């Protein structure tokens, strides 16, 4: 059996010398190296920005979505969306563990991989079902987890689909939990979406009774979702591409103070400036959205003379899976909503 690199560089075909995530093509032969884990895949949870783009290109046609997805994997050996660069994650059952793999996985374990599909060697033999409303795709196929790849064993107290959908965005509520301090004012843009709802819950919990959490929703429908669960102190519907309008609304809601922390959970482009303008000087903007442009954020903040700290939404922070699943355990309404919408 061949020896593998912990980061999976042994699977990179082109360009040579890069890691599997930025690579264009990786080797997806399902014969494991000595430190890899082979997974029988059940469901892919395609990243929201990625799925939205595929769906748009397919004109909403499910057969066309399947063709595009199969095409991506056939070309790249992984499901890295060529237009958004993003992936998603998967659930499946461990089939084989390499003898040099260090960890507690064994054949038969049901896991969710917490590393992006944009770097995971994947073979899709057949697409069994596409669920466009929740970005999930059931397949017959296999995937490889590298030694460095993080994962969560699926919890026994919730449905697989429910855990998968929450774990997909696990970085967001966990970062929120770490960033938000008592008494702070927090704005969550895209607050009625999947990651947004979890962030609102964590933000309110951490900001406490002296803090203020503002939900900015993209439509009355997603606003109602957050409102019905009483996840925030204030709710507005506002187009996050309208930066000046956002600034005026947040000024109004904060008595001219603006937010200590702005969390961006939208799935569309051009929302950097609304996030930056909603934040006070020395405040913090957390860009969880994969549609964020580093250039637009950096030059945009400079352009308006805003001294804000900006965090790129690293999908991983320590304990992210545990924090996220705990949100669903603590809030029955949130759990029910996630079950109805995503499970
Ligand atoms: P989601 O459930 O689709 O939520 C996105 C939200 O954005 C929706 O509630 C939508 O509101 C709102 N929105 C869309 N256009 C808007 C606009 N013009 N103004 C204001 N709000 C608008 O998506 P998600 O699963 O939470 O994911 C959110 C983002 O996180 C995506 O970009 C995804 O790619 C990214 N992501 C990042 C990581 C990471 O590791 N950093 C991991 C997973 C996902 P309506 O429903 O009302 O239209």
> What would the pLDDT profile of 59-87 be if each residue is shown by its tens digit?
999 999 999 999 999 999 999 999 999 99
> What would the pLDDT profile of 316-340 be if each residue is shown by its tens digit?
899 999 999 999 999 999 999 999 9
Q: Does position 49 have pLDDT exceeding 90, yes or no?
A: no
Q: What is the mean pLDDT of the chain?
A: 96
Nearest to 120 by CA among 15, 36, 50, 35: 36
CA of 80 to the centre of ligand 1 (A): 18
Rounded Cα–Cα distance for residues 213 and 200 (Å): 7
Contact 78, 119 (CB under 8 A): yes
Contact 187, 179 (CB under 8 A): no
Q: Is the peptide bond prior to 142 cis by the omega test (within 30 degrees of 0)? A: no
State the CB neighbour count (10 A cutoff) for residue 326.
Answer: 16
Does ligand 1 lie within 6 Å of residue 265's CB atom?
yes
CA of 265 to the centre of ligand 1 (A): 5
Nearest to 139 by CA among 120, 118, 124, 160: 124
Best residue among 266, 269, 285, 313 to mutate for probing ligand 1, ranked by most atoms within 8 Å of CB: 266
pLDDT for the residue numbered 39: 98
pLDDT for the residue numbered 343: 78
Going by C-beta distance under 8 Å and a sequence separation of 6 or more, which residues neighbour residue 118? 21, 78, 79, 80, 81, 85, 86, 87
Rounded Cα–Cα distance for residues 319 and 302 (Å): 34
pLDDT for the residue numbered 330: 97
Q: Does position 161 have pLDDT exceeding 90, yes or no?
A: no
- How many residues are listed for the chain in this entry? 343
Does ligand 1 lie within 6 Å of residue 173's CB atom?
no
CA of 290 to the centre of ligand 1 (A): 9
CA of 154 to the centre of ligand 1 (A): 24
Does ligand 1 lie within 6 Å of residue 174's CB atom?
no
State the CB neighbour count (10 A cutoff) for residue 13.
Answer: 14
pLDDT above 90 covers what percent of the chain?
94
Does ligand 1 lie within 6 Å of residue 290's CB atom?
yes
pLDDT for the residue numbered 29: 98
Rounded Cα–Cα distance for residues 173 and 166 (Å): 10
pLDDT for the residue numbered 164: 86
Mean pLDDT of 175-180: 97
> What would the pLDDT profile of 227-279 be if each residue is shown by its tens digit?
999 999 999 999 999 999 999 999 999 999 999 999 999 999 999 999 999 99
> What would the pLDDT profile of 294-305 be if each residue is shown by its tens digit?
999 999 999 999
User: Per mean pLDDT, which range of 122-131, 164-173, 180-189 is the poorest?
Assistant: 164-173
Q: What is the 3 state secondary structure string of the chain?
A: CCCCCCCCHHHEEECCCCCCCCCCEECCCCCCCCCCEEEEEEEEEECHHHHHHHHHHCCCCHHHHHHHHHHHHHHHCCCCCCCCCCCEEEEEEEEEECCCCCCCCCCCCEEEECCCCCCCCEEEEEEEEEEHHHCEEEEEEEEEECCCCCEEECCCCCCHHHHHHHHHCCHHHHHHHHHCCCCCEEEEECCCCHHHHHHHHHHHHHHCCCCEEEEEECCHHHHHHHHHCCCCCEEEECCCCCHHHHHHHHHHHCCCCCEEEEEECCCCCCCHHHHHHCEEEEEEEEECCCCCCHHHHHHHHHHCCCCCEEEECCCCCCCHHHHHHHHHHHCHHHHHHHHHHHC
Q: Does position 149 have pLDDT exceeding 90, yes or no?
A: yes
Q: Does position 314 have pLDDT exceeding 90, yes or no?
A: no
> What would the pLDDT profile of 90-110 be if each residue is shown by its tens digit?
999 999 999 999 999 999 999
Going by C-beta distance under 8 Å and a sequence separation of 6 or more, which residues neighbour residue 251? 258
pLDDT for the residue numbered 207: 98
What token pair was written down for 335? Answer: 């759990």
């Amino acid at each position: 059996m061949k020896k593998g690199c912990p980061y999976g560089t042994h699977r990179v075909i082109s360009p040579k010398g890069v890691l599997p995530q930025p690579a264009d093509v990786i080797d997806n032969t399902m014969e494991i190296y000595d430190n890899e884990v082979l997974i029988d895949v059940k469901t892919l949870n395609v990243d929201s920005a990625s799925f939205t783009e595929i769906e748009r290109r397919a004109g909403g046609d499910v057969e066309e979505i399947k063709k595009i997805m199969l095409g991506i994997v056939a070309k790249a050996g992984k499901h890295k969306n060529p237009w958004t660069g993003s992936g998603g994650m998967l659930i499946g059952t461990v089939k084989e563990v390499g003898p040099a793999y260090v960890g507690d996985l064994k054949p038969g374990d049901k896991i969710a991989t917490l590393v992006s599909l944009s770097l995971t060697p994947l073979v899709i033999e057949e697409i069994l079902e596409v669920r466009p409303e929740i970005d999930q795709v059931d397949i017959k196929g296999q995937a490889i987890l590298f030694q460095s790849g993080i994962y969560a064993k699926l919890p026994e107290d919730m449905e697989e689909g429910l855990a998968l959908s929450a774990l997909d965005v696990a970085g967001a509520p966990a970062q929120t939990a770490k960033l938000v301090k008592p008494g702070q004012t927090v704005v969550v843009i895209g607050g009625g979406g999947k990651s947004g709802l979890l962030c609102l819950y964590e933000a309110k919990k951490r900001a406490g009774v002296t803090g203020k959490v503002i939900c900015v929703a993209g439509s009355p429908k997603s606003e109602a979702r957050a409102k019905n669960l009483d996840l925030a102190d204030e709710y507005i519907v506002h187009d996050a591409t309208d930066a000046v309008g956002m600034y005026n609304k947040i000024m109004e809601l904060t008595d001219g103070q603006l937010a200590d922390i702005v969390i961006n959970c939208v799935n569309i482009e051009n929302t950097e400036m609304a996030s930056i303008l909603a934040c006070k000087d020395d405040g913090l903007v957390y860009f969880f959205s994969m549609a964020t442009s580093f250039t637009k954020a950096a030059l945009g903040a400079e352009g308006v003379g805003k001294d804000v700290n900006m965090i790129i939404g690293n999908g991983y922070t320590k304990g992210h899976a545990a924090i996220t699943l705990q949100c669903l355990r603590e809030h029955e309404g949130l759990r029910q909503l996630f079950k109805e919408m995503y499970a």
